[in-house]
Amino acid sequence: TGTAVTIIGLGLMGRALAGAFLKAGHPTTVWNRTAAKADELVAEGAQSAASLADALTASPLTILCLTDYQAVHELLGAHGSGLDDSEPDDSGPHGPGTHSSGPHSPHPHSPGTHSPGTHSPGPAGTTLVNLTSGDSTQARETAEWAGRHGVRYLDGAIMAVPPVIGTAEAVILLSGPRPVFAAHEPVLAALGTVTHLGADPGLASLYDVAGLAMMWSVLNAWLQGTALLRTAGVDAASYAPFAQRIAAVVATWLPGYAAQIDSGSFPAVVSALETDARAMTHLIEESEAAGVNAELPKLFKSMADRAIAAGHGGEQYPVLIEEFGRPAA
């Protein structure tokens, strides 16, 4: 039999997470503010916790998946969770959220031996994995809050939609103390492709938004080209395969360009930034002549122009990291 796990928050995503754990054979306890959302999962074999406190003590691992961090704090800070700040806690910041460098003690419940009901470890006996979307500051603050309550904590981000949860396509990012991740990795693997990014609990949120920047940039660039080609009667479907090949080729440049960024040296091996900037002018002029939006190419041209004005025209494209690494002038 699998290791017990609890899911708190049974929205579209929480129900998908619980379903994946059930399918993988993990005894699954569920709790939701609106209790009826547990019904279908209970019919599939989940245990419904009678209270939030019961949910938090049912399993060595508790997944949170609520709307936002405010909901997480409202819920866990509430009287009855056993984690509310009104209860005296003089145990000090010794939990996982503090940035202590030493190894954390392994989980007291060895996987497979936990049996809900035979003992009552209290909320601090469970490891919280918060898969609620938020920013890195919220993640770090919540990790500190967990630390103050002696609760082991991982912060996470889900880069997938509910229907793919439980398949390799579901990318689940986690950050926080590695020993905490290692203790629960076998169970978390039921959710999809689970990656631990590092000890800083803010990393999952940062990777999440970095991935969004990638996604929207590729899509916006494709839309720019599609808008241009449509003015010549080329439909989106005809251009898409060409765009797909360009995106795939450009993606192969990233590791080499990353090496330039990490070494702080940008020799123009393939082309110089000023050559790229001339091509950008061409794209802007084509867009304007065709009567399509030119804001996007103007944005990246203005960044390239600033880098050229700062003396980087003879260097390679990733020298623009200096423009990206500070607020706009």
Residues that bind ligand NDP (CB under 6 A): 9-14, 32-34, 37, 65-68, 71, 74-75, 132-133, 158, 161-162
Minimum CB distance to ligand NDP, residue 153 (Å): 16
Minimum CB distance to ligand NDP, residue 88 (Å): 24
Minimum CB distance to ligand NDP, residue 279 (Å): 37
Structure tokens at 11: 């929205």
Nearer to ligand NDP, 75 or 229 (CB): 75
Q: Please name every residue paired with 154 in a beta bridge, in sequence order, or none if there are none.
A: 129
Distances (CA, A) of 154 to 81, 94, 220, 280: 18, 15, 33, 43
Question: Which residue's CB comes closest to ligand NDP?
Answer: 11
Nearer to ligand NDP, 7 or 243 (CB): 7
Minimum CB distance to ligand NDP, residue 36 (Å): 9
Structure tokens at 100: 């202590």
Nearer to ligand NDP, 75 or 243 (CB): 75
Nearer to ligand NDP, 65 or 124 (CB): 65
**No. of helices (H) and no. of strands (E), the chain:** 11, 8
Contact, 155 vs 127, CB < 8 A? no
Contact, 87 vs 135, CB < 8 A? no
Nearer to ligand NDP, 155 or 323 (CB): 155
Contact, 316 vs 273, CB < 8 A? yes
Contact, 5 vs 28, CB < 8 A? yes
Minimum CB distance to ligand NDP, residue 185 (Å): 20
